[in-house]
Amino acid sequence: MSIERIVLLVAGAFILISLALAHFASPYWLWFTAFVGANLFQSAFTGFCPLAVILKKLGRESGPAF
């Protein structure tokens, strides 16, 4: 699995988990959802993604975006 697919998988999972936590536990979890969305937004413009850097260091293969 390429870095891009892992990043999308993790981001989607974090968003869904934080939405569930906001619904069942505390609405403050929506700040985490906003953080993930903002990170995806800035990554689209800068090409920098902290998870992609970590995955590169772990030896995962890179696709065209990162």
pLDDT of residue 49: 92
Distance (Å, rounded) from C-alpha 53 to C-alpha 47?
A: 11
pLDDT tens track, the chain, 66 positions: 899 999 999 999 999 999 999 999 999 999 999 999 999 999 999 989 999 999 999 999 988 765
CA 46 to chain CA centroid, nearest Å: 15
